[in-house]
Amino acid sequence: MDIELGKHIDLLTGLYKSDYMFYNAYNFIRSGKHTSVMFIDMDNFGYIDKKYGHLNGDAILKIVADILKENVGSDSYLCRYAGDEFAIVNPYCISDSRILAEKIISSINSYPFPNDIPVSASIGITGFGAHNVKTENISGLINKLVNIASLSSTRAKENVNNSIIIGDIDIDAIA
């Protein structure tokens, strides 16, 4: 039973693994709902692990997972994507996802992490208005959305003035 659960649940954070996000994104697109993907990437997490140790790093990941759970509504689906990366899929437009991203960034920045460890995150967001285009390859579309959101979070990490970057999607390249 526990082995079966470990296939779908990240045992450190208690969040679902990335398949959960893909499954729900697929359902949003198939049912004609707007689909936004938010990719949350912890800043300088390798440094935190090296300076404060993996036990502190793991504790931070658990706390961040809890912060995300507190901020994400029941209409959104949250997962631990990999390592220090999390993802959210929701039926929001980009501007509503940005508001959620700002709330998440503020919650992380204001949290008193153990040992006064400085913790921050960067978020990449992209979205797709499924009602605008019929797509035959929904899985391919989801992969592109995740890739764009991931690359946008990387750009946000590199941009000292902006921890949230919106990644534009080329609908013609996807359709």
Q: What's the confidence (pLDDT) of residue 1?
A: 47
- Residue of 10, 41, 49, 84 marked catalytic: 84
- 3 state SS of 164: strand
Q: Token pair of 15, please?
A: 């969040």
What is the chain's pLDDT, residue by residue, as a tens digit (175 residues)? Answer: 455 555 789 999 999 999 999 999 999 998 889 999 999 999 999 999 999 999 999 999 999 999 999 999 999 999 999 999 999 999 999 999 999 999 999 999 999 999 999 999 999 999 988 665 667 788 999 999 999 999 999 999 998 778 988 988 654 444 4
> Burial letters for 61-87: b for 16+ Cβ neighbours within 10 Å, e otherwise?
bebbbebbeebbeeebbbbbbeebbbb
* Topology at the third CATH level for domain 12-174: Alpha-Beta Plaits (3.30.70)
Alpha-carbon span 30 to 140, nearest angstrom: 13
- The yes-or-no answer on residue 84 being catalytic is yes
How many other C-beta atoms are found inside a 10 Å radius of the C-beta of residue 161? 5
Alpha-carbon span 148 to 119, nearest angstrom: 24
| φ, ψ dihedrals at 69, nearest 5° | -60, -40
- 3 state SS of 121: strand
Q: Is the dihedral of CA 45, 46, 49, 52 positive or negative?
A: negative
Q: What's the confidence (pLDDT) of residue 133?
A: 60
